[in-house]
């Protein structure tokens, strides 16, 4: 039996040492014989940054992260492994170049099955029997995925958005000028894969390939050209507004390019016009994006059985007002201290504060430049960070402390022990005690307490926040509202699927329109309006991204949600009700 293989033609621009925008490609192979059965990873990417970045360093980081994330993963689903690898790459790249725009396409060949994952913009095409069309894929946020059987002599084209807009097929095939890599724009690159013949036996079928794929085991890989990639949905190009024209000449382009590259590595051969073979169909075209040529196609094999039923999930998400997002990493706190174990976070007008109750330290960073430093002194314990009136406040084991929010300097401290769940609001400190909520008033350096209200909700609640009303997240996971010391009967949480019994944090503010609840048990952030009605829910497109939500905070303009997950701080753009559409996805 002959295993699947692909001949590869890289079309990469000549790169300087440093650049603000560049594209390149990478072929990632296993570094040990026992991992070779996982196939070969092909990656194409482009990056744009405000500041110059080291092109060689970034390319090496992408190669190494893809290698380690893919080949050493124990997950049985190659699609999920590739998605996780892409997330890992994105985090590393954005750490090297904060604020960089990043797009990547990765594919892997495992026997006769091709798996393809795309993040951001770009284009992917399949040529078979002289017909070439965009590959159909299921999309989720900025991700698009597809998988299925490929055939002998199939040609796969992966191109960056810039490459496919500058070099559409009609231009490539009609031009009499050779294509030199030195003439490629810095952000234009492509990968062309020509598939060699493959015959599978059942013994060679990977564990994650469906039984339908195995049914092809005794014959050459094949099928109808009109039914190719298995995942239903929109094409990469049409859904993500990707770009490109491609023509049947790619088969010749690939074969000749390989031969020609031995003679002139910088150039591709010349071709005469073959534009008569193109059949175009109308597509939605934006003013700044070129059109997409032809209809999309889908692979002939159903997706692996452990892939999500995206259509069913999207229907459920729509019903439950779930917005699937791809959180971006603001900062990984282990960069500042490898032993840091953050427990809380609060965002001010210009800073971010993080508390570590284990080390008894407070860390601060500017919002515009992520760099956390430890503040002095340390405290007996730290809980219930609050931002109000240009101060950050919190309770310790024997005091209540106020910090200047801009500098982190201590401004006031009140000696008081054994505070419950506390919150600083206007000139007062509210704290639970048994089934009571006590209101403390500063008086000559001391705190005088008076009873504000009594209710079972105040007995060991998980969290509370004040914005005119007092909002309480009870120990049973119920959100209740109080006004004037009594329960607000008009406030009632509604339309939230699944219990909030695992919720841990609650955010409300005088300047905020909504109430935010961290629910780590369901890996989500629930947003309610002031009456308790569900506004929406935020979940990550990657199930393991928000797998340890410890706290949340919201920017002062209520446009960005900050999530403390394990040691990482993630940013999620918030949508107002006016901005929401029928879509259950957030496209950044």
- Residue 182 token pair: 């030195």
Q: What CA–CA distance (Å, rounded) separates 444 from 308?
A: 62
pLDDT at 517: 98
What string of DSSP letters covers 326-390? -PEEEEEGGGT-TT----EEEE-SSEEEEEETTTTEEEEEESSS---EE-SS--S--EEEEEETT
Domain parsing of the chain, residue ranges: 6-309, 328-579
Q: What CA–CA distance (Å, rounded) separates 110 from 195?
A: 12
SS (H, E, C) 79-134: HHHHHHHHHHHHHHHHHHCCCCEEEEEEEEEECCEEEEEEECCCEEEEEECCEEEE
- Tracing tokens 């310790």 back to the chain, one arrives at 396
Question: Which DSSP category does 241 fall into?
Answer: T
pLDDT at 66: 93
Q: What CA–CA distance (Å, rounded) separates 119 from 137?
A: 12
Q: What percent of the chain is modeled with pLDDT above 90?
A: 44
pLDDT at 336: 82
Q: What CA–CA distance (Å, rounded) separates 505 from 355?
A: 15
Question: Which DSSP category does 406 fall into?
Answer: T
Q: What CA–CA distance (Å, rounded) separates 212 from 446?
A: 75
Per the CB < 8 A criterion, the answer to whether 186 and 15 are in contact is: yes
* C-alpha R_g of the chain: 28
Show the DSSP H helices in 204-343 as ranges.
Answer: 211-214, 236-239, 250-263, 310-319
Q: Alpha carbon of 461 to those of 102, 215, 420, 552: distances in Å?
A: 42, 57, 9, 17
Q: What CA–CA distance (Å, rounded) separates 561 from 571?
A: 6
Greatest alpha-carbon span in the chain:
90
Total length of the chain:
588
- Tracing tokens 């603000």 back to the chain, one arrives at 20
pLDDT at 434: 93
pTM: 0.53
Assign 11 to helix, strand or coil: strand
CATH number of 328-579: 2.130.10.10
Tens of pLDDT, residue by residue, the chain (588 residues): 345 577 888 889 989 999 999 999 999 988 888 888 888 899 999 999 888 889 999 999 999 999 999 988 877 678 888 989 999 998 888 888 877 889 999 999 877 788 999 998 888 888 887 777 788 888 777 888 888 788 887 888 888 988 888 876 545 544 556 666 777 899 999 888 888 754 444 344 333 333 223 323 322 222 222 333 433 333 343 333 333 333 434 444 444 444 344 334 333 333 222 222 222 222 222 233 333 334 555 544 434 433 445 678 888 899 999 999 989 888 889 888 878 999 999 999 999 999 999 899 999 999 988 889 999 889 988 999 999 989 999 999 999 999 999 999 999 999 998 899 999 999 999 999 999 999 999 877 789 999 999 999 999 999 999 999 999 999 999 999 999 999 999 999 999 998 999 999 999 999 999 999 999 999 999 999 999 999 999 999 887 789 999 999 999 999 999 999 999 999 999 986 555 544 434 433
pLDDT at 51: 86
Long-range contacts made by residues 531-535, C-beta under 8 angstroms, separation at least 24? 531/490, 531/491, 531/492, 532/479, 532/481, 532/491, 532/492, 532/493, 532/494, 533/494, 533/495, 534/321, 534/493, 534/494, 534/495, 534/496, 535/321, 535/577
Q: Which of 559, 509, 500 is nearest to 534 (CA)?
A: 500
Q: What CA–CA distance (Å, rounded) separates 588 from 581?
A: 14
pLDDT at 194: 86
Q: Alpha carbon of 128 to those of 116, 135, 215: distances in Å?
A: 17, 12, 21
pLDDT at 41: 92
Long-range contacts made by residues 445-453, C-beta under 8 angstroms, separation at least 24? 445/414, 446/414, 446/415, 447/400, 447/414, 447/416, 452/485, 453/482, 453/485, 453/486
| CATH 2.60.40.10, domain 6-309, yes or no | no
Task: Tell me the sheet residues that pair with 481.
Answer: 471
Q: What CA–CA distance (Å, rounded) separates 190 from 188?
A: 7
- Residue 25 token pair: 């490609």
């Amino acid at each position: 039996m002959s295993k699947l293989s692909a001949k590869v033609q890289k079309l990469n621009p000549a790169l300087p040492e440093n650049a603000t925008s560049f594209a390149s490609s990478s072929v990632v192979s296993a570094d040990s014989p026992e991992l070779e059965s996982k196939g070969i990873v092909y990656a194409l990417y482009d990056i744009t940054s405000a500041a110059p970045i080291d092109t060689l360093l970034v390319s090496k980081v992408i190669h190494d992260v893809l290698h380690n994330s893919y080949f050493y993963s124990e997950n049985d689903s190659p699609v999920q492994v590739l998605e996780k690898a892409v997330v890992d790459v994105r985090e590393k790249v954005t750490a090297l170049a904060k604020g960089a725009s990043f797009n990547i396409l990765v594919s892997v060949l495992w026997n006769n099955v091709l798996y393809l994952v795309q993040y951001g913009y770009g284009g992917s095409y399949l040529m078979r029997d002289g017909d070439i069309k965009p590959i159909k894929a299921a999309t989720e946020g900025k991700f698009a995925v597809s998988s299925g059987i490929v055939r002998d002599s199939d040609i796969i084209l992966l191109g960056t958005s810039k490459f496919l807009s500058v070099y559409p097929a009609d231009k490539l095939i009609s031009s009499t000028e050779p294509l030199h890599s030195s003439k490629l724009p810095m952000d234009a690159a492509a990968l062309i894969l020509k598939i060699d013949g493959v015959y599978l036996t059942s013994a060679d079928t990977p564990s994650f390939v469906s039984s339908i794929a195995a049914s092809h085991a005794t014959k050459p890989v094949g099928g109808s050209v009109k039914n190719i990639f298995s995942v239903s949905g929109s094409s990469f190009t049409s859904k993500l507004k990707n770009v490109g024209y491609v023509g049947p000449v790619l088969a010749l382009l690939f074969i000749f390019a390989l031969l020609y590259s031995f003679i002139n590595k910088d150039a591709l051969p010349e071709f005469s016009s073959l534009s008569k073979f193109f059949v175009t169909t109308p597509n939605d075209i934006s003013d700044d994006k070129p059109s997409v040529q032809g209809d999309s196609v889908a692979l002939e094999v159903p997706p692996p059985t452990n892939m999500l039923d995206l259509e069913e999930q999207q229907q459920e998400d729509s019903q439950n007002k779930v917005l699937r997002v791809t959180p971006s990493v603001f900062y990984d706190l282990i960069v500042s201290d490898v032993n840091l174990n953050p427990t809380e976070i609060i965002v001010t007008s210009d800073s971010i504060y993080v508390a570590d109750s284990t080390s008894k330290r407070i860390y601060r960073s500017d919002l515009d430049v992520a760099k956390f430093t430890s503040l002095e002194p340390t405290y007996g314990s730290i809980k219930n960070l609050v931002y109000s009136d240009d101060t950050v406040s919190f309770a310790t084991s024997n005091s209540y402390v106020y910090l200047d929010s801009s500098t982190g300097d201590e401004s006031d401290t009140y000696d008081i022990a054994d505070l419950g769940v506390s919150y600083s609001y206007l000139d007062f400190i509210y704290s639970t005690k048994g089934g009571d909520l006590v209101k403390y008033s500063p008086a000559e350096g001391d705190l005088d307490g008076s009873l504000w209200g009594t209710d079972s909700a105040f007995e060991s609640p998980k969290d509370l926040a004040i914005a005119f009303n007092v909002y309480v997240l009870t120990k049973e996971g119920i959100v209740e509202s109080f006004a004037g010391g009594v329960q607000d009967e008009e406030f009632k949480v509604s339309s939230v699927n699944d219990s909030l019994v695992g919720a841990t944090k609650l955010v409300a503010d005088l300047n905020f329109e909504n109430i935010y609840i961290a629910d780590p048990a369901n890996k989500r952030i629930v947003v309610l309006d002031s009456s308790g009605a569900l506004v929406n829910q935020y979940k990550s497109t990657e199930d393991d991204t928000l797998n340890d939500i410890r706290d949340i905070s919201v920017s002062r303009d209520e446009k960005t949600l900050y999530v403390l997950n394990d040691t990482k701080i993630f940013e999620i753009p918030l949508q107002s009700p006016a901005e929401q559409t029928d879509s259950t996805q957030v496209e950044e």
